[in-house]
Each structure stands twice: as structure tokens, then as C-alpha cells.
Amino acid sequence: MTTTSTSTPTVLSTIAATRELVRAARAEGRRVALVPTMGALHEGHLALVARGRELADLVVVSIFVNPLQFGPNEDFERYPRTLDADLAALAGRADAVFAPSVAEMYPAGASQTTVHAGAVGERYEGAARPGHFDGMLTVVSKLFNIVQPDVALFGQKDAQQAFLVKQMVADLNLPLAIEAVPIVREADGLALSSRNRYLSQGERVLALTLSAALGDAEEESVRGVPAARAAGLARFDQQPDVRLDYLVIVDPATFLPLEDDATGDGLMLVAARVGATRLIDNAPIHF
């Protein structure tokens, strides 16, 4: 694929300009990759961009804090908006940034037509954040229609999101490939997240409980699903200041909980609140 320049990416604020950019690229026979984000970029996001560069000639990063996927008591207003820093981070990596306003994406004030995430979208993160995945899939479907990429890149850290996007693409016969890029972690195991910046120094130490629980479960996986689950839960019992939301082992092909006697591949999902910050993590686990 082509090599990008070291300059700051072209910033596009309208749907029309973004479509025109993509049309011009298509006329030159170029493949297009889309990396949907809400900004506040970190090395995890940049890994998605790097993978997009390997797969396509034109890499478009969308930066849009989507109000549809935030509940009434969530952090939409305080979610970090760092466009200048994001553009600096993307210099030499992405070709274009689509950074629309809410009015550009939802000119009627709200989307009257939405995508329903289905039964899996009501579990785990969906149970904790009702309507979140409907809002996410709605904006992702809009981005797919605007950019019409050959491939879109998502982070494996948001495993349920990646699963639901793949399901939507398959169910609606959308003509693009979806790739989930592995989690990027700090040296001590903490999964990178835009919300990590909310953590105090002490809370950041407590946040390591999530990745530690995943590691404990993996060590006990030779004894089966119940032992692995119990090991993960035990880690949270040792840290009462970390409030566990859920810990579940699912079949990665269906995202339904594994039976206790299951063998083969699984995926452990965990969500917990550290102080006022809600964090998620996951890891593959084999039985």
C-alpha cells in the first residue's frame, strides 16, 4: 500500500467533503480504510490506524463523540475532546480525519431510524448501558455509508462492540471487511483506554485488578470454566474498592455464556468501576 506523508491529515467536517475525497480515491483505484473513533487518541487507536495503513491506500479516521451511545447518567459532556492533540498524533499516519459536528450527523436533532443490536446487544455492556449498542451501531452504519470503506478497524478491547459490528455487517450484507485489532496494554498490563486519564494515581493501581483477574482465570483454565471464573472473581474479592459490574466467559462465536463443561475457545469479559471511572477488559481463554 502507499506510504502516507508526515503532514497533518486533511480535516473534513462535512459529509459531502468526505464523500468527495473518497470518490477521488476510488477513481484512482485506491483502497479505503476507516478507523471509527471518539477521539482522545492513544496508542491503541494508533495501532488501528497502522493496521489500516497495511490494508489500504487511503486511511480515514473519524472523530465523533456520538451522543446516541451515552446514557443520561454517563459522561458525554466530560468525555475528553482533544482534536488538536489527536491531529498531531495522526500526522504521518492517517490521510484524512472526518470530524463532524453533532448537527452534521443528526440534522434533525436525533436519528429517527436506528439500528437495533439484538439480543446480544442487551447483555453485558448492553445491560449496564441500555441503548448503548443501538446508538453505536447507528452511528457506525452512518459512517460506513458516508465513507464506504473496503475495511474498517475496531479495537479488540471493546470486544462486544466488535462482535456486534461484524454481526451487523453480515446481517445487512454490507460490502466491507471488519478487522478487530489486538488490545494494546501498558507494560504493567493495563489496557489502554481514553478513560484511563480520569484515574488518579491510586486508582490506576487499583485498575490493574481487571487484567490481573484475567490472568488468574487463564492460569486456572486447565481446571475448566467454573475454576477459571472463580479465580477471576476471587481477585475482585481481594479489592473491595474496585466495584465489579460483571465477569463472564463467553463463546467468541456467539457471545453467549459458556456452559460449565465447555471445551475449546472462550473469551472472558470483565467490567468494573474504579472510583468514578468505569473500565472494561477481556482476554481469550482456552479450555
Distance of CA 28 to the CA centre of its chain: 31
Is 39 annotated as belonging to a binding site? Answer: yes
Write down the residue that cell numbers 466491507 correspond to: 176
Is 211 annotated as belonging to a binding site? Answer: no
Is 184 annotated as belonging to a binding site? Answer: yes
Is 192 annotated as belonging to a binding site? Answer: yes
* Residue 132 annotated in active site: no
- From 45, 116, 132, 286, the catalytic residue: 45
Is 62 annotated as belonging to a binding site? Answer: no
Is 247 annotated as belonging to a binding site? Answer: no
Task: Output the nine-digit C-alpha cell for 5.
Answer: 506523508
Is 158 annotated as belonging to a binding site? Answer: yes
Is 168 annotated as belonging to a binding site? Answer: no
Residues 76, 282, 222, CA angle at the centre, nearest 5°?
A: 165
Q: Please spell the DSSP secondary structure of 67-123, one letter per residue.
A: GGG--TTSSTTTS---HHHHHHHHTTT-SEEE---HHHH-TTSS-SS----TTGGGS
Task: Output the nine-digit C-alpha cell for 89.
Answer: 498524533
Question: What residues contact residue 159 under an 8 Å CB cut-off, 6+ apart?
Answer: 180, 252, 267, 269, 282
Q: Are 148 and 154 in contact (CB under 8 A)?
A: no
Is 155 annotated as belonging to a binding site? Answer: yes
Is 7 annotated as belonging to a binding site? Answer: no
| Residue-wise burial string across 116-129, b where 16 or more C-beta atoms lie within 10 A, e elsewhere | ebbebbebbbbeeb
Task: Output the nine-digit C-alpha cell for 1.
Answer: 500500500
User: How many angstroms separate the CA atoms of 119 and 224, rounded?
Assistant: 27
- Give kind and range of the element (H or E) at residue 49: helix 43-55
Is 136 annotated as belonging to a binding site? Answer: no
Is 193 annotated as belonging to a binding site? Answer: yes
Is 194 annotated as belonging to a binding site? Answer: yes
Q: Could you list the active site residues?
A: 45
Q: Residues annotated as binding site for beta-alanine? A: 69
Q: Which residues are annotated as a binding site?
A: 38-45, 69, 155-158, 161, 184, 192-195
Residues within the annotated binding site for (R)-pantoate? Answer: 69, 161
Binding residues for ATP: 38-45, 155-158, 184, 192-195
